[in-house]
A and B are shown apart, each in its own frame.
Chain A
């Protein structure tokens, strides 16, 4: 007689657990839906024959083809894009790539050195630098953009007063802005790897006759290479996608791809935008995935 209530409570527990499990699955599905459905719609409609996103008229690659031809066969792209930047999509893409490549190179070198300095050297004020390193990551991007704009304006005025040279916003200021926020990401990634790197390896190199410089080149950097590469890819992706900081620091003629897309949307959302966005999405995805893969590869050295 005492077994019955126990059995009942067992059964009840099982039901609760099953409901809980189902609810968890549904919850996860919803969350993923919110995240990815809009993107999915965007990708699907980039293959739409219609000029308008609302109705599906059949599959086409025309939007991609026209993009590859520099938007030439679509008078629309040329005209609307031109309204903002005085150029088509190809100059914008070119600007984006120039900015991303140069900013990545600078940020990778500086970020790597910063990461190494943070982890391997004890210097006065290190805790403060350590806190500052995370600031560009957590600071609202708009604050960063505005402060950079104010900074450039001040510097430009100072330079003009001192030398008479008149400087303007342009690709160089966009690059400086991108470097400013990318350094932190590179430094954090490099540093995380360096924490796992046994300092005794560097001691071993010195023991075998390598001075500090050779130790850095022959041991530390090769072992950090996956993290540096991973940090560089991250910086490249961030730079390629950045809108806010670019918006504040670019002048006339320095339109990058995100700015160009934004300019187009002001007139109408066409499948061409979907196509550009899909390509940018694909590029970012490839970069982030390879960054993760490189970092995972690093484990085999660990």
Chain B
């Protein structure tokens, strides 16, 4: 597990923009992807994640920096000499070939004997549950089936690394959820390194072993889903992955583990420092996940409490989302689970409430 499948060393990609100015798509990133890992590149559109994937595949050459696949430098090596395969965003199935011919394409390029090709295509059809469809043309298949053919066509080559470029983007929500789980199981089954590009944070959290969050050509944070969600490296990550409340404050005291932060017009709150580099007097941002705060009727709040009034109540089934206006006029979003059928009616808009915050729920960031 400690062998590197893919390594990017200070990789830049510049594109010629209009008027001779270069646009930076990828801005000197470092990545180390472990063998057998499900690794996601997550970010909004235009963040450089697809360009990064295309550089690993060999469709684009880095402007600077180096890419290694299993220790081999990839500079100048065309896509057909790399032991990686790609599942494309809109599948890119060959429309003039049948399902079986599509899957066999890569093996035929390797000049494998016909019998072996037939056997491996059969195995793949079974893996993606498309037996009986081998003679259909791509246009005769549903979106989900086309997706599976694309997967089979790439996996049949038994690549060292499988690259997936938003492969589930074209599917409807229910099918996408099914495919997420199926894809994850398949990855565990075949044991191939997956590099998965997506802009869907929930998808990345569900499927990945580790995630790299990208923004404007930079990698902002690399970590497990829990790391990324619970300990976001900066305000962008905190805002992009899930929902966050941001509270501005100032450090009043600190020791090795903790800082006391003054949030405007509120009582001082003691927060665990973790890896944040802040000192007394520094402006900081506290990140609070909506589900980590609780709503109480005035008087029943036992934790660190902020008083306010409910402005909006949104019933979401499993939980209820409240917007609370605090006494200092700032707004805070709180999500509480509906443990009882009556929970949603507890705090209609206009109710005076206390927002309870446990200090361990807060993440401290140096203000940018």
Contacts and interface: CB of A to CB of B under 8 A. Distances in A.
Contacts of A208: 80, 85, 105-106, 109, 153-154, 157
A12 interface: no
A154 interface: no
Interface string B117-157: 00000000000000000000001000000000000011001
B240 interface: no
Interface in A190-209: 198, 200-201, 203-209
B306 interface: no
B96 A209 contact: no
Contacts, number: 63
B95 A223 contact: yes
Interface residues of A, number: 20
Say what secondary structure dominates the interface of chain A: helix
Contacts of B106: 208-209
Interface stretch (B86-94, B286-294, B334-342): B86-94
Interface string A215-240: 00011001100000000000000000
Contacts of A211: 78, 80
A222 B102 CA distance: 14
A223 B109 contact: no
A219 B94 contact: yes
A123 interface: no
A87 to B, nearest CB: 45
Given A207-B79, A300-B139, A218 B59 contact: no
Contacts of A206: 58-59, 78-80
A202 to B, nearest CB: 9
Contacts of B78: 206, 211
Nearest to B111: A209
22 contacts: A200-B90, A201-B92, A201-B94, A201-B95, A205-B94, A206-B58, A206-B78, A206-B79, A207-B58, A207-B80, A207-B84, A207-B86, A208-B80, A208-B109, A208-B153, A209-B106, A210-B109, A211-B78, A214-B109, A219-B94, A222-B96, A301-B96
- Across the A-B interface, give the 8 residue pairs with the lowest CB-CB distance, nearest first: A208-B106, A209-B109, A204-B92, A206-B79, A200-B92, A301-B95, A207-B86, A209-B80
Interface of B: 57-59, 78-80, 84-86, 88, 90, 92-96, 105-106, 109-110, 139, 153-154, 157
Given A207-B57, A210-B105, 14 more contacts: A200-B90, A203-B59, A203-B86, A203-B88, A206-B79, A207-B59, A207-B79, A208-B153, A208-B157, A214-B109, A222-B96, A223-B96, A301-B96, A302-B95
Interface of A: 198, 200-201, 203-211, 214, 218-219, 222-223, 300-302
